[in-house]
Structure 1
Amino acid sequence: MSLHGTAGGTGADDEGETCGTDALAVLELLARQAPPSRFEALLREARRTGTDGARLDRLRRAVRLATDIGATLDRREQREAGLATLVDTARDLTLPYDLDTLLRVIARRAARLLACDTACVSLRDAHGLSSHVHTAEGGRTGLADGVLVPDGSGLGARAHAHGEPAWTADYSVDESFPHSEEVDELVRAEGLHAVIAAPLRVGDTTVGVLYGADRRVRHYTHDEVALMSSLADLAAVAIEKAGLLDQTRAEVTELERDSSRARTRLTRMRHVSEAHSRIMNLVLAGGDLCNVATAAGDALDGTVMIRDPGGRSLATCGDIPGLDEDAVAKASLDAHAGRRPVLAGDNTWVAPVIAGSEDLGVLVIRASTGLTGEDGRLLELAAQSVAFLLLMQRSTAVAEGPVRDELLDDLLADPQHAPQQITQRARRLGIDLRKPHVLVVARPEGGDQGRAVVWASSYAYRMSGLKTVQGGCIVLLLPGEDASAAARAVSGEVSPLLGHPVSVGAAGPGHGPDGAARMFAEAMRCLDAMSALGGAGSAASVRDLGFLGLLLSDDHDVDGFIDSAIGPVLHYDAERFTDLTRTLEAYFASGGSPTNAAEALHVHPNTVSRRLERIGELLGPQWQKPGQILEVQLALRLQRTRAVLAGQRGTEERPVP
């Protein structure tokens, strides 16, 4: 019994010891995290050694339990690793990325988290009708970036519709969702099979989809799907934050741009204010129009020209080459109609010079660069300053008018007052009578003379001359040597102002205080001669009247008349020793017959014809017209008479200069 008992006890102990040994072996493999092949090797060894069936069943059960425990531990480790990666990703997504960089980071993290071959992010457009892939990680073809994912197709549509991840083990053969040709083409080009899509949700709104894909058939686990969903939630928050950050950056940039524009505008306004102050100080300090034009040109970085209502230049600070006068004239009308500067083309602006409703002229500027809004304002202020200066000059002229009128009346008086006293009075008014002067007489042909008298006061003051009114005519004594040019300038200004014809006669130049009365008499005779000849409303000097001017002039400038009539022919003969003058005399003596003139000169008629052609080139194509041909014949007679008289006195013929 004891043996039996001993034997029985020994058998049970051996069996328990054997079971413990088998369990210990399994636990050791489990503790070492041995691969499944080691457990299979343990079972094969037990079968090889002839282990009985019950023990082998217990061993199989232990191996199965150990394998399940190992798998559970592997899943836990994978979950912990995924969570750790997710935490790192969450920390990484808190960095201040711009949107494009953030999308690349999200795609890279998704590929690493699920060990996918490729990953990408698609975002919905502003209208929410379709999505575009913005970035891809791990692609081979580069076709994914920018591809259109139509709404309602693909796994993305399912993920968006259900608000949870959707996946497939093999995309191309899965017919459980609608396909699109664009996405299918991309899947084929990249060689993809398994695809998982997780919606990017911000509250109740889905802004896009996070994709992961493999180039093999793969069944995603619940843990992998959960990780993908968690990453998509984090990514959605980060994308929203990045969008807000980009928006904030854009707003900050716009604010900085607005601030820069405001600073620039403030600087320009300060420049405008300072420039206007300089121009006004110049005006108040007694500066003239040239000074104002120069100051305005410096402030606007251009060339400025001040013109009167008739378009004549009053002052300029430089030349404006290639100025389109027609465009300037049109722009002047538009500028006065709109009371604002108008562009006349090629960086040329025209600003109206206005005092109330009165047109005082225009200010023309050719700018080096285009004018800004502040420059336009400065141009308007400069035009106002010019208007103010013109009004000041007019007021000064009106205030000094009686004194200046009295001085010119004394200059024209007969007998004349003491020249020395008159010279001193003129010097006090800024008039230097020792310099050349011309005298202009303007007679309005009808209408009120009041406006003409006011204009004449301003014009005389502006031109540093004198003005008076005698016998219904405006008399101007102006500095200069060209009486004809002075007459045309006066006519060009006063005629448009009055709106009816004005006859203008001029004489001069003269020097000293004693020449004014003589020039006045000549100018009046010139004016009367124009009226007698039917030239009312014209402008001329005694020199412009040809031989009539010779008769009307007090000094009878024979040399000047001969030179103006046939001077080019005389000079040509003197320089080239030709006989053009003698040919002219023979031509007129023969009654205008080239053949008879050739006989008288003993030359061929063709020679006379060629000489007459040369004379036409020298005197102009109109030299045989009745008016000019009379002057030519008279000049030839005077020239011949002077030569005869000089010969009678035994002197040499004096060539005409």
Structure 2
Amino acid sequence: MSAGNSYHRDQEPAEETESRSSLGCRRNHPTSTMTSMLTCSDYLLHLFELLAGDGTSEQLAQVPVEARTRLPARELHRVERAGKLALRLRNTLDERRRHESELAALFDTAGDLARVRDPDAVLRAIVHRARMLLGSHVAYLSLNDSRAGTTYMRVTDGCVSALFQQVRLGMGEGLGGLVAQTARPYATPSYFEDERFTHTDEIDRAVGDERLVAILGVPLAVGGSVIGVLYAADRSTRDYSHDEIALLSSLADHAAIAIDNSRLLEETRHALVELNAAHETIREHNSAMRRAERAHDRLTDLVLRGGSLEDIAEAVADVLGGGIVVHDEDGTELACAATDSLPWPDRAVQQSRHSGRSVPWRTNLVCAALAGPELLGSLTLVGCHQPADADRRLFERAGVVTALVLLLRRRTAEAEERVRGELITELLGVGERAHGGLAARARRVGFDPEGSKVVLVSPCGNADRERLAAAASRYVGQHSGLAGTHGDHLVIVLPGTDAGNAAQNAARALGTSTARPVTVGGSGPVAGLEGIADKYEEACRCLEALLALGREGEGAALAELGFLGVLLGDRGDLSGYVRRTVGAVLDYDSRKGTDLVKTLRSYFEHDAGLSRTARALHVHVNTVSQRLERVSALLGPDWRSPERGLEIQLALRLHRLSGGEW
């Protein structure tokens, strides 16, 4: 036996060493001697030694070859038969070892599935094991993209072509398409020569760029559906055995489990996220409900206690953490809390009115306060145009509460307006109730019957009667007065002594509320209730004078109308007219002992001629000029105008008629 076929071990039993040594020694003798010395048992023993020592198939096959020259035919037959059995046993052992290796790989893969939480790492390990166990040049795994209708490379091992790693296959294209359609493994020893599947230029270019020839593909199936393909490929022709196909299929099953586990894990994580989100939503909803309940109780308590709109605005601002502005249906600001005043968001209010919900306006949120379809006002949340749903609902609920308060205010105002209107009617002499009863009723609505008061009158036609009356009701409510309609007039009675100033303020306020000019005639003051009817008549004459003079939209008393006021007013006010017109000159003469009044009379009697006035007074012209300069300083530079001159002449005549008492 040659040295190349000898078997060597680091440690051997003594008898084996001795046997092989004796067999080797015999080989060094001449042929005749070797033939007589080597027996069939020696060759059989050597076969067993090779099997035990993991000898190769080539070594086992060499033993019968050597025995042919040394053993007789009968014994050679036994050695050859033993050699064949040894080769079969060698192949069986190799097959079992291969199966053990495959099982170990499958067990390792199962362990990876149990231990590893990263599905990509598991897939990479599976693809790598497939390549190693099958001894392939390349292994790769593709997954289906059902949305895009394509298949893409998920994991590759041994690939060098970027084009191949990035290729996308249409459903049903290439070898993988055939595997996916049939859900069965498919192998080709020569890819480009195989016409049993659909070739495309893109796939063929990618396969050619990777220089692949033989390809084996097995399906990845989950629940009966193919989700991808696991491949083993070689750069030379190769026929894949059934065992290799079965091994790759087993690895594909593990890969499918890994992918399905990943899907289930992702679904579980998503479900946990949704569950946590649901718990958080429920918690926030419960918190919002408790917050809304507290806010509702707070607002309801304010309404039941008769809280004002200012109280409502402050409560809503505190709950929502923003500024609140309340307007009525005409855009008049009624209350403001935690912010500055804002213009009325007319367009946003109309949008909210039609939608029944709050709407954004600039950086704010607007909610119409409605009683059915009727607009009562609006609520504006400042600086928060996109609040949370719970806060938005709370704001809209505050709008309902605001509407309730506005409706109660309107009903109360209407009731008070009726009472005040009845009082006005009876004070003007239409009713027959005694003044004592009227005084008691006036006190019940917050009006002082004993104090000084002024009477104001404004025209009110049918078109704007209700609007003007409503504005007047709000106005007198702020000034503790009375308002009502009488015939074609709106009549207002206010505490005070300056009828002219009161008329101007009322004209301005009512004009702003109604958005149109409002003319107001005033009269007074008058003490008690008895003189109100007379002052009403005088205020009507003042109103007629204002309209005749074209002073629409203004307010004035007779005193502001000059001599017309004297002509139209009561005689009792003549002294007041004299004092308002030339009182400054009268006071100067009284203090200085001068006679500027006499100079003025002479000046007007001589048609404003300086020379004639000087001759009549027996003084120099310069003296007259100096006196008139003093008059200008006292009465103003326009006293010589025709209008002022007429009023001054009338006042001087009344002063003379009174004997100088005024």
State the TM-score, normalizing by the size of structure 2: 0.66
Deviates more, 1:503-512 or 1:183-192: 503-512
Provide Cα deviations, 1:214-267, integer angstroms capped at 9, x if missing partner. Answer: 456554333222111122233334434443443344344334334433433343
- 1:179 is matched with which residue: 199, 212, 229? 199
Deviations 1:95-152, CA, capped at 9 Å, x for gaps? 6857656544543443454354543322233379542223334444555566312233
Q: Which residue of the other structure, out of 91, 105, 111, is the alignment partner of 1:71?
A: 91
2:44 is matched with which residue? 23
Q: Which digits, 9 at most, give the CA deviation of each residue in 1:357-400, with x for residues without a partner? A: 44322333333341344334333322222222223233444555
Q: Name the % identity.
A: 34
2:657 matched residue in structure 1: none
Cα distance in 2 for residues equivalent to 1:436 and 1:218: 122
SS of 1:539 mapped into structure 2: coil
Partner of 2:477: 461
The AA in structure 2 aligned to 1:302 is G
* Match runs of 1:23-422 below 5 Å: 23-36=44-57, 38-39=59-60, 51=70, 54=73, 62-94=82-114, 97=117, 103-126=123-146, 130-141=150-161, 143=163, 147-171=167-191, 177-202=197-222, 204-215=224-235, 218-317=238-337, 328-343=345-360, 345-398=361-414, 400=416
2:39 alignment partner, SS class: helix
Q: Distance in 2 between matches of 1:315 and 1:80?
A: 88
CA distance in 1: counterparts of 2:531 and 2:67, whole angstroms: 150
Q: Are the structure 2 counterparts of residues 37 and 102 from structure 1 closer, same or farther at C-alpha, using a change threshold of 3 Å?
A: closer
Write the distance in 2 (CA, Å) between the matches of 1:300 and 1:560: 60
Separation of aligned partners in 1, 2:523 and 2:517:
20
Equivalent position of 1:606 in the other structure: none
Q: Matched residue of 1:293: which SS?
A: helix
Task: Answer whether contact 1:79 1:223 (CA < 8 A) is retained.
Answer: no
Asked if the contact 1:331/1:350 (under 8 Å) is kept, the reply is: yes
Q: Using the alignment, how far apart are the partners of 1:30 and 1:511 within structure 2? A: 140
Q: SS of the residue aligned with 1:364?
A: strand
Listed as ranges, the matches of 1:412-561 within 5 Å are 440-446=456-462, 456-457=472-473, 460-461=476-477, 464-470=480-486, 473-477=489-493, 483-493=503-513, 503-505=518-520, 507=522, 523-533=539-549, 538-542=552-556, 551=565
Deviation for aligned residue 1:33: 0.3
Q: CA RMSD in A?
A: 5.2
Matching residue of 1:572:
none
SS state of the match for residue 543, structure 2? helix
Partners in 1 of 2:40 and 2:338 — Cα distance?
118
Structure 1 residues 278, 559: closer, same or farther in 2, change over 3 A?
A: farther
In 1, the alpha carbon distance for the partners of 2:466 and 2:147 equals 75
- Do the aligned residues in 1 keep the contact of 2:119 with 2:258 (CA within 8 Å)? no
Rounded to whole Å, the distance in 2 between the matches of 1:632 and 1:332 is: 56
CA deviations 1:246-299 (Å, max 9, x no partner) are 334434433433443343334334333322332232232222222222322333
Kindly tell me the number of residue pairs found equivalent between the two proteins.
Answer: 551
| Structure 2 residue matching 1:542: 3-state secondary structure | strand
User: In structure 2, what is the Cα distance between the partners aligned to 1:94 and 1:397?
Assistant: 80
- After TM superposition, give the deviation of residue 34 of structure 1 in Å: 1.9
- 1:526/1:549 contact within 8 Å kept: no
d(CA) in 1 for partners of 2:449, 2:133: 104
Q: Which runs of 5+ in 2 are unaligned?
A: 1-31, 430-436, 583-607, 609-636, 653-662
Give CA deviations for 1:382-432 in whole Å, capped at 9, x if unaligned.
Answer: 22222222232334445556776688799999xxxxxxx999998886679
In the aligned structure 2, how far is the partner of 1:444 from the partner of 1:177? 96
Distance across 1 between alignment mates of 2:578 and 2:268: 89
Determine the C-alpha separation between the residues in 2 that align with 1:85 and 1:446.
Answer: 101
Q: Secondary structure at the match of 1:209?
A: strand
Q: Which amino acid aligns with 1:264?
A: E
Aligned mates of 2:546, 2:648 — CA distance in 1: 29
Distance in 1 between the 2:398 and 2:524 partners? 37
Contact 2:366 2:381 survives alignment (8 Å): yes
Residues 73, 541 of structure 1: alpha-carbon distance in 2 compared, 3 angstrom cutoff: same
> How many angstroms does 1:72 deviate by?
2.1
Deviations 1:138-174 (A, max 9, x none): 4445555663122333322333344332234454565
| Distance (whole Å) between structure 2 residues aligned to residue 130 and residue 632 of structure 1 | 103
Residue range with higher mean Cα deviation, 377-386 or 460-469: 460-469
SS in 1 for 2:216: strand
Q: Residues 19, 398 of structure 1: CA spacing in aligned structure 2 closer, same or farther, 3 A cutoff?
A: same
Aligned-pair distance for 1:461? 3.4
Q: Distance in 2 between matches of 1:445 and 1:199?
A: 92
Residues 639/206 of structure 1: CA separation in 2 closer, same or farther (3 Å cut) = same
User: What is the alpha-carbon distance in structure 1 between the residues aligned to residue 326 and residue 640 of structure 2?
Assistant: 42
Partners in 1 of 2:581 and 2:154 — Cα distance?
Answer: 92
Q: Is the 8 A contact 1:136 1:145 kept in 2?
A: yes
Cα separation, partners in 2 of 1:507 and 1:546, compared to 1, 3 Å: closer
Between 1:99-108 and 1:198-207, the stretch displaced more is 99-108
Partners of 1:335 and 1:456 in 2: CA distance: 28
Q: Residues of 1 paired with 2:143 and 2:235: CA distance?
A: 23
Which string of whole-angstrom CA distances, capped at 9 and with x for unpartnered residues, describes residues 415-458 of structure 1?
xxxxxx99999888667999999864333123696786577546
| Partner-residue secondary structure (3-state), 1:363 | strand
Pair member with larger Rg: 2
Q: TM-score, normalised by structure 1?
A: 0.67
Distance, in Å, in 1 between the alignment partners of 2:260 and 2:640 is 99
Asked if structure 1 preserves the Cα contact closer than 8 Å seen for 2:180 and 2:229, the reply is yes
C-alpha distance in structure 2 between counterparts of 1:522 and 1:300, whole Å: 54
Q: How far, CA to CA, are the matches of 2:55 and 2:382 in structure 1?
A: 92
Structure 2 CA distance, aligned partners of 1:544 and 1:94? 104
78 and 633 in structure 1: CA distance in 2 versus 1, 3 angstrom threshold: farther
Checking the alignment, whether the CA contact within 8 Å between 1:133 and 1:148 is kept in structure 2 is yes
CA distance in 1, matches of 2:119, 2:43: 59
Report if the CA contact (8 A) 1:398-1:458 is conserved.
no
CA shift in 2, pair 1:179/1:400, >3 Å: closer
Q: CA deviation at 1:77?
A: 0.7
Range moving further from structure 2, 35-44 or 127-136: 35-44
